[in-house]
Every structure is written in C-alpha cells, then in structure tokens.
Amino acid sequence: MKKMKNSIYAVAFAILFLSACKNDAKQAESNDVNSKEIQADATTQKSDLTSAIIDGYMVLKNALVNEDSEKAAEGGKMMLTAFSNFEMAKLTEAQHTKYMEIAESAQEHAEHIVKNPIDHQREHFEDLSKDVNDIIALVGTDKTLYQDFCPMASNNKGAIWLSETEEINNPYFGSKMLKCGSVQKQIN
C-alpha cells in the first residue's frame, strides 16, 4: 500500500515537472511572437482594412483642429461604424487577439467623443490616437500618414496624433496653438 502511494506521488511529481517544462516552452514561443511584431512595426504593411477607421479619425482630428465639437462627434460615429464593419476574418490569429484589445479601447473612446463637449473629446482623442496608431502598426495601411507630437498636450506630458498632411495643425489646442508640435514619423 505504501509502495503504491509512493509511486502515485512519483507520477504526480513527474506530471507536474513536465507541465512546468511545457509552460516554459510556451512562454518562449510567445516571446518570439512579440519580437516579430516589433520588427513588423518598423515598416508599415500595406493594407486597406484600416481605411474606414482612419477616414473617421481624420474627420474627428480635423474637427478638433477647427474646434468643431459637432463635427468631431460625427467623426466618432464614423469610427464606430468602421469598427463594427471591420473585416476581422482577414486578420491572422496573432493579429486578431491584439486587434480585439485595441479595438475595444478605441471604441470606448469613440463613444465618449460622440456624446461629450470638446474638452472631454480631446481627452479621449489622446488615447484614441494611440489606439489608432497601434492598429496601424499591427494591421497596416496604404495611406501616407504623419505621426505628430505635441509636447504640451495631456498636461505637458505630451501626446501624439496622426495626420494626413505634413503640415502641423494641432487638434489638442486648435487655434490657440495651431502650429505647436512636430512630425515624429512618416508612415508610408
């Protein structure tokens, strides 16, 4: 009886040990996936999957430049439609999980932009810009875009936005500081 108990312990121990090894292997694998993703960021893939999202974003961005809260809400609505029409089936499995996470956050920001005054819209535009930027890094775009940076936005912490023109037009401050900011990166 005691012998049997011992062998059960031995088997249990072996299973535990093996499954621990397996986890390690899995982790190494997922690390690999991460590093691949970062490499892909360096050159943006050509894809038209994100076009509608970017179109909505630009309507929103330009409305904020022009201090037009109503038009900004319209841009937010366009983005919500674009997200619900997004063809997720065309993503790879690895892209899919990451996309879901970013899209969930982006949609939440867009919802706030649809129903709030301009100050609050700009607050959510900050994070939304990050989300859209990350979606482009993940999925790609066939548009030529500029990633701009304003050091004074977000209470002087600085914030990025995306633009379809090389010329700086600041959506965070509008006419107050229209030219504040610089191009950080050109996409495509």
Partner 1 sequence: MSLFKKAILLLLIAVVGIQFMPTARNQSNEVLETDFLITFTAPNNVRNLLKTSCYDCHSNNTNYPWYDKIQPVSWLLENHIKEGKKQLNFSEFGIYSKRRQKSKLKSIINQIEEDEMPLWSYKLIHKDAKLSEKNKELLAKWFIQLRDSLP
If the CB atoms of residues 91 and 102 are measured against partner 1, the closer one turns out to be 102
Q: How far is the CB of 117 from partner 1 (least distance, A)?
A: 12
Residues 40-79 that bind partner 1 (CB under 8 A): none
If the CB atoms of residues 131 and 148 are measured against partner 1, the closer one turns out to be 131
CA dist list (Å): 165 to 159, 168, 178, 183: 18, 8, 14, 10
| Alpha-helical segments (H) within the chain | 2-42, 51-65, 69-85, 93-114, 118-139, 153-156
The amino acid occupying position 25 is: A
- Total length of the chain: 188
Q: How far is the CB of 33 from partner 1 (least distance, A)?
A: 17
Rounded to an integer, what distance in angstroms lies between the CA atom of residue 50 and that of residue 174?
A: 26
Q: Which of 109, 146, 163, 173 binds partner 1 (CB under 8 A)?
A: 109
Q: How many residues bind partner 1 (CB under 8 A)?
A: 9
If the CB atoms of residues 160 and 168 are measured against partner 1, the closer one turns out to be 160
Q: How far is the CB of 11 from partner 1 (least distance, A)?
A: 31
Tokens of residue 146, six digits: 């500029």
Determine if 122 is a binding residue for partner 1 (CB under 8 A): no
If the CB atoms of residues 66 and 105 are measured against partner 1, the closer one turns out to be 105
Q: Which of 37, 68, 127, 164 binds partner 1 (CB under 8 A)?
A: 127
Q: Which of 59, 72, 78, 102 binds partner 1 (CB under 8 A)?
A: 102
Rounded to an integer, what distance in angstroms lies between the CA atom of residue 91 and that of residue 98?
A: 10
CA dist list (Å): 74 to 51, 65, 70, 108, 125: 17, 14, 6, 15, 13
| Residues in contact with partner 1 by the rule CB under 8 A | 101-102, 104-105, 108-109, 123, 127, 131
